[in-house]
Amino acid sequence: MTENEQPKTKGRLFHRPLAFLCAALALQACGGGSGSSASKAPSGETPPGGVAWQWNLPAGFTPPPVPKDNPMSVAKVELGRALFHDVRLSGNATQSCASCHTQESAFTDNRSLSRGSTGEVHPRNAQPLANVAWNTTLTWANPNERTLEHQMLTPIFGTNPVELGVNEGNRASVLARFQSDAGYAQRFKAAFAGEADPVNWDNIVKAIAAFERSLVSADSRYDRSVAGKASLTAQETRGMKLFFGDQARCSQCHGSPNFNDQFSTAASLQADPSFHNTGLFNIGGTGAYPEPNRGVFEITGQAQDMGRFRAASLRNIELTAPYMHDGSIGTLEAVLDFYAAGGREVGNGLYAGDGRLNPYKDERISQIRLDATDKADLVAFLKTLTDTAFVTNPAFSAPASR
C-alpha cells in the first residue's frame, strides 16, 4: 500500500484517544506508514542464567508494557507455553487455557459462549489473544482489569463461572502435579533461577503471562501489503479505503495497529481507554442490555456505561466467529448488516427492543452508511487481516512432550 491510499484517515477521523496514539507512535494503521523494517528492542533485563528476550516486532509496534516484577525471558515463555496448553492446570484435569483459546482459531473457541471445566456456561464469548499485551484494559468491559497477571486469577480461581476450577480444596493438589513432575521442576528452575522453591502459583501465573505477551500477530496479507511485500485485490483495497474512511467509520474505533482503540506500549500508556455501546440491545426501550452482560455498567453501575464494551481487535477476525461479547452474531456478513442498520432490532422474546434507538448508543454507529457492495468489500478487507503464520507458528503450539 502506498502512502497515497490511506492519507485521508490521518488526524481527521480519529477522536481524542486515537489522535493521541497516532501522534505518539506513528502508527501504520493510522496512515503513518513507518516503513517495513522490523524493530528489535531488547527487554533490557536478562534473568540470572537466562537468555535475554528479544522483541521481534513489525512496523507500527513498539514493545508492550511489561510489569517490572515479571521481565520476559526465553525460559519463562517456554514454561508458560507448556502450562497454557496443560489440562493438569484445571481442578479436574480436563481443561487448559487452550481449551477456550485454541491457536488454530486465533486463540478463541468458536463457541458463542465458553464452557468451563465443570460444564458451566460462561456468559461471554472467548476473546482472541493475538497482541493481547498491548491492550490497555483486559476482557470485554472492565476498565479496572489492567494486567495479564491479574486477569489470569479469574480463569484459574474464578467461581462465577467456574473455568479451570482451582479452589481452596484442590489448590495444593493441582500444584503438586507440577511439583512432582521432573520436567516441570527443571523448567521452573530455569525460568526462575535463584529461587529456592520456584514451583508455586505466583510463578505459574507469571510464566503464562510471559507466554501471552509473546503472542504477536502482524504478518497478515494486510501487513505485508503495508510493507510492500504483497498487494491487495481491487475489492480488498476498496474495503480498506471504506474501513479507514468517513462513510464506514470503522477505524474510528478499530484504528490502532491492533485494529481496536485500546493500545498501550511500554513507552506510552493510554490514559483514558474508551468503551462503546453499539446498539445490540435496547430492552423495552430503556437502553438496557441483558444481565450480566451490561458492559462497563456491571462495574460502575452508572447509567451512561450501559452496553459499553471494548472495541474488539479485528486481527484474524475471519477465524474467530461467532462475534460480539455474547457471540450473538454468527458471521462477518451479519456483523456488516448490523452496522449498516445502525444497530440491531430484537423483535420478540425476553430482550425485545430496538437497539438502533438505544439512548446510550455511540452516535457514530448511526452515521455509518453502507450498501451491499460496500459491505462485501469490507468483509473482503477484514479477511486480509488473517495471519496464517500466527495460527500455525510452532512456538505458540502445545510442546510436543512435557
Residue 192 interacting with ligand HEC (CB under 6 A): no
CB of 238 to ligand HEC, least distance (A): 13
Residue 232 interacting with ligand HEC (CB under 6 A): no
Residue 365 interacting with ligand HEC (CB under 6 A): yes
Of the candidate spans 10-18, 20-28, 171-179, 318-326, the one that interacts with ligand HEC by CB under 6 A turns out to be 318-326
CB of 49 to ligand HEC, least distance (A): 26
Residue 105 interacting with ligand HEC (CB under 6 A): no
Residue 314 interacting with ligand HEC (CB under 6 A): yes
Cβ(184)–Cβ(402) below 8 Å: yes
Q: Which residues contact 193 (CB under 8 A, 6 or more apart)?
A: 47, 48, 49, 50
> Quick one: cell of 210?
510471559
Residue 220 CA to residue 315 CA, distance in Å, equals 8
- The DSSP call for residue 308 is B
The answer to whether 22 is a known ligand-binding residue is no
Residue 77 interacting with ligand HEC (CB under 6 A): no
Q: Which of residues 368-397 bind ligand HEC (CB under 6 A)?
A: 368, 378
Residue whose C-alpha cell is 468458536: 110
Q: Which residues contact 106 (CB under 8 A, 6 or more apart)?
A: 128, 129, 130, 217, 315, 316, 319, 320, 387, 390, 391
Pick the closer one to ligand HEC by CB: 52 or 346.
Answer: 346
Position among 77, 82, 240, 335 found at the interface with ligand HEC (CB under 6 A) = 335
Cβ(36)–Cβ(60) below 8 Å: no
Position among 297, 339, 360, 396 found at the interface with ligand HEC (CB under 6 A) = 339
Residue 274 CA to residue 279 CA, distance in Å, equals 16
Which has the closest alpha carbon to 160: 289, 291, 276? Answer: 291
DSSP-assigned beta bridge partners for residue 39:
57
Residue 320 interacting with ligand HEC (CB under 6 A): yes
CB of 205 to ligand HEC, least distance (A): 8
Pick the closer one to ligand HEC by CB: 23 or 87.
Answer: 87
Measured in degrees and rounded to the nearest 5, phi and psi for residue 295 equal 75, -145
The answer to whether 30 is a known ligand-binding residue is no
DSSP 362-381: -HHHHT----HHHHHHHHHH
Pick the closer one to ligand HEC by CB: 297 or 323.
Answer: 323
CB of 122 to ligand HEC, least distance (A): 4
* Positions at the binding site for heme c: 97, 100-101, 250, 253-254
